[in-house]
Amino acid sequence: MGAGSGDLRAMPRTTRTRTADPSAAPNSLRFSAINAILLCAGLAAIVAGYVLLSGGSTVGAPLLLVLGYVVLLPLAIIL
């Protein structure tokens, strides 16, 4: 046998293992009370930001919108 034919019997056999348990996936998306509180606070900050923006505020509106979109809503999802 030549070098190009390759001997499959000499190659070690590898096994695949799963890293994540599929039965744990449905339980990982449960939201607690802190998630609901942060979600409501984020939505309230966004609504207040848009109300201030319609009134002409150039300082408070962007601060509230950034707080709602960048801080509170992601925290509500992550925690």
Tens digits of residue pLDDT in 12-47: 666 666 565 555 555 566 889 999 999 999 999 999
Domain annotation covers residue 8: no
**Structural domain for 48, as ranges:** 30-79
Domain annotation covers residue 6: no
What is residue 10's predicted lDDT score, i.e. its pLDDT? 67
Domain annotation covers residue 61: yes
Distance CA 52, CA 20 (A): 46
Domain annotation covers residue 36: yes
Domain count, the chain: 1
Domain annotation covers residue 73: yes
- The amino acid occupying position 26 is P
Give the tokens for residue 44.
């309230």
Domain annotation covers residue 18: no
Q: Which residue has the higher pLDDT, 13 or 60?
A: 60
For the chain, count helices (H), then strands (E): 3, 0
Domain annotation covers residue 7: no
Torsion of CA 31, 61, 63, 32, to 10 degrees: -10
| Residues with Cβ within 8 Å of residue 44, at least 6 apart in sequence | 68
Domain annotation covers residue 2: no
